[in-house]
Amino acid sequence: MKNLFKLLGVVFLMFTINIGWAQQREVTGAVTEDSGMSLPGVSVVVKGTTIGTVTDINGNYEISAPSVTSVLVFSFVGMETQEITIGSQSAIDVVMATDALQVDEVVVTALGIKRSKKALGYAVQDVKADEITKAGNSDLVSALQGKVAGVQINQSGGGVGGTSRIDIRGASSLIGNDQPIWIVDGVPFDNGNERDGSVWGGTSRAGGAFDLNPEDIESISILKGPNAAALYGERGGNGVVLVTTKSGKRNKGLGISYSGGFTMSEAAYMLDLQDKYGQGNDGMYDNKSTSSWGPEMNGQSLESWTGEMMPYEAQKDRLKDFTRTGTTQKHSVAFTGGNDEGAFRVSLGKDIMNGIYEDHKIEKITFDLRADYDINKWLNVDTKVSFFNTKGNERPEIGNYSYVSYFNSMPMNIRNEDLAPGYDIIGGSHVENLYTTANANYRNPYFLQAQTTNSDEKNRTFGYVAANLKLTSDLTAKVKYGMDFYQFSAVEGYLFGDNVDPNRPNYNPTQSKFKEQNYEFLLSYNKEINEDFTIGLNVGANNRNSTRETLRATSGRLASEGDFFLGAGSNIKASESLSEEEVRSIYGFGQVAYRNMLFLDFTARNDWSSTLTSAHTDFDNDYFYPSVSLSGIVSEMIELPQWVSFAKVRGSWAKVGKGTQPYFTAQNFSISNWSYDLSVGNVPDVSIDPNLKPELSTSIEFGADVRLFQNRIGLDFTYYHEKTENQIGYVKGIEEYGYSRDLTNIGEILNKGIEFTLSTTPVKTKDLTVGVNFNFAKNEGTLEKLKDEINRYDFGAGVVAYKGGKLGDMLGNVYNKDANGSKIMDENGLMTINQDDNIVIGNLQADWTGSINLNVDYKGLFVSALVSIQEGGDIISSSERSATGSGTAARTTENGRIAFFVDGVNEAGGLNDVMISAEEYWRQLAKVDEEFLYDASHMKLKELAIGYNIPKSILSKLPHNPIKSARVSFVGRNLFYFYKNTPGTAPDASAYSTEYAAQAYDFSPVPSTRTYGVSLNVGF
C-alpha cells in the first residue's frame, strides 16, 4: 500500500505542473446512455474545428472551446449524434439515446471496460437486470440458465442452495478445470467453497456466486472464449462471467426502491413408480420382505410389518408426502443519490429459502455500497464495499444413500405413518424402526432425517477502492485495490447411533478462510487523430495473491447421543491445510478505429504464476497470452438494400491459459494423526512432472451481426474452433518406484461449434410490442491427442474419452446377442450379459441446446416466457435401475407379472424354451446398463412472468403519492416439460454432483420442484 500512496503522490505532482497549461475556457462533463451506464469512447468535437477528445473509462470528458458560441458534437457508434451549444455552461452532461436505425449497445468487456458492442471483434452476449430478476429467482446461476447461447448450466440434484455446473462452449479440461472465472465490477469474485455430493451420498452447497443478490446487478456479460477473455491470462481459458452491479446516478437526487417476492415450491419431477404390487417375493406376501414382488394390492387385510392388521394397498405418493411445500421470501431495499460531483447506491437484502425437506433452510443477507466522487477535475475516487452472510441448515443427502433412494426401492404398501417418526426410544437411545433389519441398503428416511444434521455459515467481505486520474484530456490512469475475503464454518454429523457405522453418533466441524487481493494499475490513452482515425492504447499491471486455510476435525464415536460436541469424541483427529498462490502480470491492449466502421483490437498479457514454478528450475515460468481481432461494419462501407439496417462481420484469434492448483508442481508430504496419540508421515503416491506446463487454449472465431427492417429482425452468428493443449491429467505411474499415478501434460482437447441468436419484433405499435428471441448453440468436444501409448482417458463413473473420439462416452454392459441380434439366454432362461468394460452405449454431450424467449407488452401489461431446449445427449437412470431390481419401478408391471419365455436363443442357437418368473426377469434386467439409457432431450417452460407496470400517468394522479414506479407480477419457474424421455425425473437437474462424469446419471436427486409466486417492485 505504501507504493500505492507514493504513486498517487507522483500523479498529484503531475497535476500541479499541468495546471498552467490551460489557456482557454474548459468544458467538462459526463456522458451516459439512457440506462444510466457511463459511456467511454464517445467522440466530443467542437463543430467546424479539429478540436476533439473522447470520454474516458468513466464517461467523463474535458475539452477546451474557443468561444461561448461553439457547438459540441457528441457521437458514438449506435447512438444518436447530439449537438449542444456551450453558451454560459462550463459543465455539460449528456445522455445518449440509442439510434433506432443503428441499434447498438454498450457491453462490459475484459477489465470492466465498457465498449460499443458494434466495435468488438468477438462474441459477447449480455443479460440485463430485468431478465435476471423477472422470474424472482434468488439463485443467480440458475437465473442465467437458457439465456445465453453456448452456455449450458446444469443444476445438481441438491435442492435449494445446491451447486450448479456451468459449461461455456463445452468441457475443455480432463481434470475438471473448466469452470469460468467470475468478475464483479472488475474484481475477481471467488466461486469456490462449493460442496459436491457423490454417488454414495453427501450434500450439495452452491459456490460463491450464490452469495450475490440478483437485485444488485445491472448486467452480466459472458465472455465466451479465449478471444474475449485473453486479457485474463491463465484464468481466462474457460470464459469469464462479468457482473456489473448497479450504481448511483448523478444529478438524480435521492431515490428509494423496494423489490420483494414470495414463492412456493412443490416436488414435481420424481421417478415413475408402480402402484399395483406390494411387499413379498415370487408373488407371495411377506411382511419382512425388502422388495415389491408380492401379490397384487386390492385392499385385502393383511398383517403389516408392525404386527397390525391393515389394508394391503398402494401408497402412491410416499415421497411427495414426505416433502413439504417449500417457500422463499426475498426483500431488497436500495437508496440512490447523486449530484454533479458524485453518486452513490446502498442496498440491503434478505432472502429466506425453505426447501421441500423438513428443516432444510437457506438464509442470505446482502449489503452493498457503491459510490464515486470527483475530488477535483483531475481525480475521481470509486469505491465498493459488499458484505454477505449466507447460512445453510440441514442440506439433504443425495445419491445412493439419500431419502429418495430408500423411498424408490421400498415396498409399495409401506405407509409413511408407520415409518414416522423413524425410531423408538430404547434405553434412552434412538433406535431405528424399519420393516427389515436396517443396514446401508435399507433405511428409514424419517430416522435418517432425524439422525443426520449439518449447518454452515459464511461471512464474506468484498470490495475495491480505485483512483481514476485524468492526466490530460487524452491520458488517464487508474490505480485499484480489490479484495475478496470470507470465513466459513460448518458442522455435520450424526445425532444417533445406528447399525450401519460403529462411529456414530459423531461430530465433524470444519473452518476455512479465503483471501484474495488484487493490485492493479492501468494507463489509458484515447485520441481522435483526425476525422478518420481514433486510437486507444492501454498498458497495465496486476499482482494477485490468494490464500486458503482449512481446519477439519472428526470426533470418532461420541460418548452419548446428547453430547454433540467435539470434546465428547472417542477418537478425535484433526487436519490442517494451507495454500498460497501468487500471479504477477503485465498487459497491454489497444484499438484502432477507422471512420467508426473498421475496428482493429489487439491484446497481450504475460503471467508469472507461482503454481507453475518448479522446484527443479532456477527461474519462474512465465507465459504469454496474445489476441487480435478485426471487425467491420459492412453497412457503412457499401450501400446495401434499404431493408438491411446494419451488417457487420468479425474475426479473431487468441491464446489464453489455464493455471493449475497450488503445489501441483512438487510432491507433497503430509503428517496426520494415528492411534495412540501418534503421528505418521504420508509419502505421496503421485509423481509430478517437473516441467508441468499450463493448459493453453488457442481459438479462432468468425461471426456476423445483421439487423433487418429497421431492427425488427436481428441475427448474430458465430463459428469457433478452440484447441486446448498441454492437458493436465493423471497417467499410470511407475509402481516399482511407489507411484500409482503420474501428473503430467498428456493431451489435447478440441471444441468447435456454432452459436446463433435471432431477435425479432414482429409487432410494434404505440400500445403493443411483441418480441420473440431465439438462442441456438451446437458444440462438439473431442479428445484429439493423448500421450504416448495411452488410448483412453477415464473421467470416472464409467465416462471416458478415446483418442480421436468425442468427450463423454458412456461405458456400460449390454446383452449378449447372436449374429441376428437375438438375445442369448443361459440354461435358466435368463438373458446373458456382456461384461466387456469397453463397450460404449451412449454419450453425454448434447447435439444442440437452445431457448425461446417471448416478451409481450400491452399498455404496461406484460407476459414474459422462457423455454429451454436440449436435443440429444444420453443419461443413465440409476434411480430406475435400483427401483427395477426392487420391483417398484413402473415398468415392472408389464405382462401382468406372469411367467413367460424371454424372446431369444439359448447358447446352442435354438429358441429359448425355459420359462422364468417376472421377478427373475426384472432382477436380471436391472443388471444391464443399456436398459436404463435414455435420450436426455427435453423442452421445458423454465420461466413465466405475467404482470403489470403501473403507468406513471396513473401514479401521478394519486394525491400525496410518493411512488414513482410500481410493478406487480405473478411468476413461475420449471412449470412443466413439453417433452422429455426420462422416467419421471428431470434430465437437467438429476446429477449427483457438478463433476463432468456425473452429468451422465440420474442418481436419486432431491426432487426437482415447480415454483410459483408473486413479485413486487416499487420505486420512490
How far apart are alpha carbons 406 and 156 in whole angstroms? 19
Question: What is the per-residue pLDDT for 659?
Answer: 66
pLDDT band per the 50, 70, 90 thresholds, residue 7:
very low
pLDDT band per the 50, 70, 90 thresholds, residue 102:
very low
Contacts of 768 (CB under 8 A, 6+ apart): 856, 857, 858, 859
Report which DSSP code applies to 102. Answer: T
769 neighbors 762 (Cβ within 8 angstroms): no
The verdict on whether omega for the bond into residue 959 sits within 30 degrees of 0, i.e. cis, is: no
25 neighbors 88 (Cβ within 8 angstroms): no
Mean pLDDT of 248-273: 91
Residue 4: pLDDT over 60: no
How far apart are alpha carbons 503 and 442 in whole angstroms? 19
3-state secondary structure of 669: coil
Q: Dump pLDDT digits (tens) for 671-708.
A: 776 666 677 777 777 887 777 777 888 999 999 999 99
Label residue 561 exposed, middle or buried (CB < 10 Å: 0-12, 13-18, 19+): middle
* b/e map 383-407, b = 16+ CB within 10 Å: ebbbbbebbbbbbbbbbbbbbbbbb
Q: Dump pLDDT digits (tens) for 91-100.
A: 888 888 765 4
Cell matching residue 320: 411427495
Residue entry with cell 519462474: 620
How far apart are alpha carbons 208 and 458 in whole angstroms? 10
Mean pLDDT of 66-86: 82
Mean pLDDT of 322-334: 95
Quickly count: other Cβ atoms within 10 Å of residue 978's Cβ.
Answer: 10
Query: Within 13 Å, how many C-alpha atoms sit on residue 1's CB side?
Result: 6
How far apart are alpha carbons 524 and 495 in whole angstroms? 60
Residue entry with cell 445483421: 706
pLDDT band per the 50, 70, 90 thresholds, residue 1020:
confident
How far apart are alpha carbons 78 and 85 in whole angstroms? 22
Question: What is the per-residue pLDDT for 36?
Answer: 64
Cα–Cα nearest to 217, from 126, 125, 303, 119: 126
Contacts of 830 (CB under 8 A, 6+ apart): 902, 916, 920, 921, 924
Residue entry with cell 467508426: 596
Taking CA atoms, 272 is separated from 292, 321, 891, in Å, by 15, 15, 8
Residue 14: pLDDT over 60: no
Q: Dump pLDDT digits (tens) for 418-449.
A: 999 999 999 889 999 999 988 888 999 999 99
Query: Which of 329-338, 404-413, 720-729, 921-930 has the least mean pLDDT?
Result: 720-729
Q: Dump pLDDT digits (tens) for 773-829.
A: 999 999 999 999 998 788 999 998 999 999 999 999 999 999 999 999 999 999 999
Cell matching residue 798: 464409467
Note the pTM of the prediction, 2 decimals.
Answer: 0.86
Q: Could you tell me where the beta strands, DSSP code E, fall in 555-678?
A: 573-594, 598-609, 622-633, 644-658, 670-673
How far apart are alpha carbons 350 and 367 in whole angstroms? 9
The rounded Cα 387 to chain-centroid distance in angstroms is 21
Question: What is the per-residue pLDDT for 197?
Answer: 75
Question: What is the per-residue pLDDT for 19?
Answer: 35
How far apart are alpha carbons 414 and 408 in whole angstroms? 12
Query: Which of 369-378, 429-438, 604-613, 976-985 has the least mean pLDDT?
Result: 604-613
How many degrees, rounded to 5, is the angle at CA 823 between CA 819 and CA 829?
140
Give the residue, 64 or 822, on which the prediction is more confident.
Answer: 822
662 phi/psi in degrees, rounded to 5 = -60, 145
pLDDT band per the 50, 70, 90 thresholds, residue 556:
very high
975 neighbors 939 (Cβ within 8 angstroms): no
Cell matching residue 454: 449439518
Residue 208: pLDDT over 80: yes
Question: What is the per-residue pLDDT for 105?
Answer: 67
Cα–Cα nearest to 1013, from 960, 968, 951: 968
Give percent above pLDDT 70 in the chain. 93
Cell matching residue 976: 412443466
Q: Dump pLDDT digits (tens) for 389-417.
A: 999 999 998 888 899 999 999 999 999 99
User: What average pLDDT does the chain have?
Assistant: 88
Note the residue count of the chain.
1020
Question: What is the per-residue pLDDT for 34?
Answer: 66
How far apart are alpha carbons 245 and 243 in whole angstroms? 6
Residue 166: pLDDT over 70: yes
3-state secondary structure of 270: coil
DSSP for 584-603, please give it: EEEEEEEEEEETTTEEEEEE
Question: What is the per-residue pLDDT for 101?
Answer: 40
Cell matching residue 171: 468441457
Label residue 549 exposed, middle or buried (CB < 10 Å: 0-12, 13-18, 19+): middle
Residue entry with cell 449542444: 84
Mean pLDDT of 79-83: 81
Mean pLDDT of 520-537: 91
Query: Within 13 Å, how many C-alpha atoms sit on residue 20's CB side?
Result: 4
| Radius of gyration of the chain from its Cα atoms, rounded to whole angstroms | 31
How far apart are alpha carbons 728 and 746 in whole angstroms? 6
Identify the H or E element spanning 140: helix 140-144
Question: What is the per-residue pLDDT for 100?
Answer: 43
How far apart are alpha carbons 532 and 536 in whole angstroms? 14
Cα–Cα nearest to 879, from 734, 1012, 989, 733: 989
Q: Dump pLDDT digits (tens) for 982-1012.
A: 999 999 988 888 889 989 999 888 999 999 9
